[in-house]
Structure 1
């Protein structure tokens, strides 16, 4: 099985244990009040307009004729993993245990659970390491993401892709929420916006992300993904709770 999407499967990440599993908790993150009213620089028009290409991603994500659905999902999911990993690496030196003591996005905090279901208290960089290591293990597993001719995808493949997309979304959202200033200073916000649009429209095309999961970034999604991913107004904006959905503190 050869890659049929933009990019191919490949580079390894740091080795950590962990599984693609998330559960909700009722405790407040660090006992601190979330910065709900903090100004979101990434929503400023001068920055949301920035892209590295003007291609219409809404058309690009559609399943091509003669391409197997699972193959299309596998190729694109692997490519998104590599790009999100690369995008995070550009600001990883700023995402430290001291600066990001929790994996937070707006009023939401994400927790990691190990293979035994035990809650792991970790910083944002540790959480991202768990995500990248677990996804790397999956996309290089021939029993899950087969690359050899004649190998079949497992019956659980779509659900695994959904879990991967959920975790990649967490990483992208954290970059916007906690590290957009650094991304801006590096002049990589156009790359980040382009990646976010492509990823969200692909996930939306194949129902890979629960709207409740992505509600925390609905305001950004509305701005970036309206107009088929070209940054226009109206039309294909995000569905769901919108910016108002961010007014309630929660943990996952």
Structure 2
């Protein structure tokens, strides 16, 4: 039995290495166009992350920069990073293992959109996350919401849209931490996932982008690793 567990962990560790090294994600990675202001902001944010600075400092708006550009860059980046995290465990998140999108017995998330699911609907976790990522991609690819052309302003509801995106992305963290963190740990990815979560938490807290009630499912863990 121990040998089987060891073999399983070894296989997943190799898979993890391949996933992280090749930037394989659950959904195609979204990239910023070189030469744009947002690309420069993205490079600045990545440089700060790699510098070893306190994450609480890293998330602060750089002097002279637009807050909407800063939020746009991070919203897309968190979409990419959470895709990467979920991509490492998605083979173990199935309709059989996760028939409901939940965070333990206390928290259940139902899907709703403006198309097929007009009322909150109970769906399996992998379907919920597929619908979520499709929904986010539609928004971040929409020039009316995330404009990429120079001089085109953000819409008045831009931050509200980002709040909804970031709130729903948090639910992926909840599901991964509560239902699949044994796999993450077995793959040796715990530090990576924790760092991504801390970055996310400090960012949404810095700009009040998520209702504190939404953070309740991971409150104890957040107090342990973030505060």
Tell me the TM-score normalised to structure 1 length.
0.69
Residue 215 of structure 1 and its aligned partner are, at CA, apart by 1.1
Gap regions ≥5 residues in structure 1? 9-51, 227-252
Q: Please show how residues 80-229 of structure 1 align to structure 2 within 5 Å.
A: 80-106=78-104, 107-115=106-114, 117-226=118-227
1:2 aligns with 2:37: yes
Residue 70 of structure 1 and its aligned partner are, at CA, apart by 0.3
Cα distance in 1 for residues equivalent to 2:199 and 2:68: 18
Residue 54 of structure 1 and its aligned partner are, at CA, apart by 5.1
Cα distance in 1 for residues equivalent to 2:222 and 2:155: 32
Per mean C-alpha deviation after superposition, the further-off stretch among 216-225 and 192-201 is 216-225
Contact 1:114–1:120 (Cα < 8 Å) also in 2: no
Cα distance in 2 for residues equivalent to 1:95 and 1:7: 35
SS at match of 2:91: coil
Residue 119 of structure 1 and its aligned partner are, at CA, apart by 3.1
Cα distance in 2 for residues equivalent to 1:119 and 1:163: 15
Q: Give the number of aligned pairs.
A: 183
Q: Which residue does 1:58 correspond to in 2?
A: 56
Cα distance in 1 for residues equivalent to 2:202 and 2:122: 32
Tell me the TM-score normalised to structure 2 length.
0.77
CA RMSD of aligned residues (A): 1.8
Hey, which bits of structure 1, 4+ residues long, moved more than 2 A? 5-8, 52-55, 116-121
Contact 1:53–1:194 (Cα < 8 Å) also in 2: no
Structure with the largest fraction of helix? 2
Cα distance in 1 for residues equivalent to 2:59 and 2:153: 23
SS at match of 1:154: coil
Cα distance in 2 for residues equivalent to 1:186 and 1:96: 19
Gap regions ≥5 residues in structure 2? 1-35
Residue 202 of structure 1 and its aligned partner are, at CA, apart by 0.1
Higher relative contact order (CA 8 A, sep 6+): 1
Residue 118 of structure 1 and its aligned partner are, at CA, apart by 2.4
